[in-house]
A and B are shown apart, each in its own frame.
Chain A
């Protein structure tokens, strides 16, 4: 199922789909975790999950939001990272024990000569960057 805000990746790619179980009555229980506490897409995600599973023939679907363990950009799959880059969003670098900002590669031309133009972007999970080489602005998925 695609993420409502970044439809090129699925909620499984993003690592926010935590668990799906079906009990012996055929009831489906889905666990989802938010990227950020205030992520406004969570309700849309829950609605989409219920709709898709209902259409697939499951009559009883419930979605639970879980906070722990906290989501990290390290939970994004390798396929998810590749899809983000192909879509034009510079993927996050791995989070380490020490917070450090590595140079972000431009998803358009591949240059490492880039600069941050705004620490906050169109959604909570992204910041805005500009490439000094090709002059194009791009989104960067912040490492969290």
Chain B
């Protein structure tokens, strides 16, 4: 696969899979306003994914649409990181993950504003404002739960511990030629700012940054957790059962 297409798919699939996981929370969040909030965050991610998938399809040049790429690829063809693909059925986990992801996307899209790929810089121009709002939302919740009751503190810490082994994979180096040509933002260069941002929130929330070994990644090369397959089965079922259906 072309490195440029693969890079764009990585950004797109992180957003698409996050949108799908966020959708799970609709009707299940602790309060009605949170149902709406998580639905809106998912919708922003879906919108970003759509623009990125259209772009990947155009770069690929085989006539694949955003729907073809979302519904007709198998897990090995996805390029998302493991952080986003696992279930997040615990609210603390959902907020810990949103904090990590939005801190990363915030730096990523800020860097991509200067991308030599005009579509990527265009997507970044919109996305950077949206993910800043997601980051702010996660920040509020992590502090509220972390610096809350002993019960909420313990559960928020456990959630952070559970997500932390998946942080390093976000900084997997991108194709050097793509970085040199100014298309891609160098993921390794984002690391310091992302971790700083998270550390400040974690400290404010009276939580402790976990010291755990990173998990083996591989999502950017198409090696995924078992859970991505279940997510895709649900997400792709309708489109595959009724090809070409419209509603």
| A interface, CB within 8 angstroms of B | 34, 36-40, 66-71, 99, 117-122, 124, 128, 142, 144
Please give me the residue from chain B that is nearest to A118 by CB atom.
B33
By the criterion CB–CB under 8 Å, are B33 and A69 in contact? no
Q: How close is A118's CB to chain B, nearest CB, in angstroms?
A: 4
Within 118-134 of B, Cβ neighbours of A (below 8 Å) are at: 118-119, 121-123, 125-127, 129-130, 132-133
A124–B123 alpha-carbon span in the complex (Å): 17
CB distance from B209 to the nearest CB of A (A): 26
Q: Is the CB of A34 within 8 A of B43?
A: no
Shortest B140–chain A CB gap in Å is 8
Contact (Cβ within 8 A) A67 B36: no
Is the Cβ of A37 less than 8 Å from the Cβ of B48? yes
Give 17 A-B contacts (CB < 8 Å), ordered by A residue: A37-B44, A37-B47, A37-B51, A37-B123, A37-B126, A37-B127, A38-B43, A38-B48, A67-B51, A99-B132, A117-B33, A118-B37, A120-B39, A120-B41, A124-B40, A128-B33, A144-B129
Cα distance A50–B36 when bound, in Å? 31
Interface residue ranges of B1-53 to A (CB < 8 Å): 33, 36-37, 39-41, 43-48, 50-51
Q: Does B137 contact A (CB under 8 A)?
A: yes
- Secondary structure of the A contact surface, majority rule: loop
Q: Are the CB atoms of A124 and B44 closer together than 8 Å? A: yes
CA distance A71 to B130 in the complex (A): 12
Contact B125 A36 (CB under 8 A): no
Contact between chains at B36 and A118 (CB < 8 Å): yes
- Nearest 9 CB-CB pairings of A with B: A38-B47, A37-B47, A70-B125, A68-B122, A67-B122, A118-B33, A38-B43, A120-B37, A120-B40
A38 pairs with B45, CB closer than 8 A:
yes
Whole-angstrom distance between the alpha carbons of A117 and B31 in the complex? 12
Docked CA distance A127–B81 (Å):
31
B36: chain A residues at CB < 8 Å are: 118, 120-122
Residues of A within 8 A of B40 (CB): 120, 124
Chain B nearest CB from A36 CB (Å) reads 6
B33 interface neighbour in A39, A99, A120, Cβ under 8 Å: A120
Min CB–CB distance B37 → chain A (angstroms): 4
Q: A48 to B117: give the CA distance in the assembly, Å.
A: 31
User: With the chains together, A34 CA to B46 CA distance in Å?
Assistant: 13
Report chain A residues within 8 Å CB of B130: 36-37
B119: chain A residues at CB < 8 Å are 67
Inter-chain contacts of B137 with A (CB < 8 A): 119-120
Q: Is the CB of B37 within 8 A of A68?
A: no
Q: Are B125 and A67 in contact (CB under 8 A)?
A: yes
- Min Cβ gap B23→A in Å is 12
Other 15 A-B pairs with CB < 8 A, given A36-B130, A68-B118: A34-B126, A37-B44, A37-B50, A38-B45, A38-B46, A38-B48, A38-B50, A40-B43, A70-B122, A70-B129, A71-B126, A118-B33, A118-B37, A120-B33, A124-B44
A39→B48 CA distance, assembly (Å) = 10
User: Cβ of B47 and Cβ of A39 under 8 Å apart?
Assistant: yes
Chain A residues near B33 (CB-CB < 8 A): 117-118, 120, 128
Closest A residue to B136 by beta carbon equals: A119
CB of A58 to closest CB in B, whole Å: 25
Nearest neighbor of A143 in chain B, beta-carbon distance: B129
What is the CA–CA distance of A14 and B133 in the complex, to the nearest angstrom? 21
Residues of A within 8 A of B39 (CB): 120
Complex Cα gap A142–B127 (Å): 15
Cα-based distance from A23 to B46 in the complex (angstroms)? 34
Give the complex CA separation of A68 and B129 in angstroms. Answer: 13
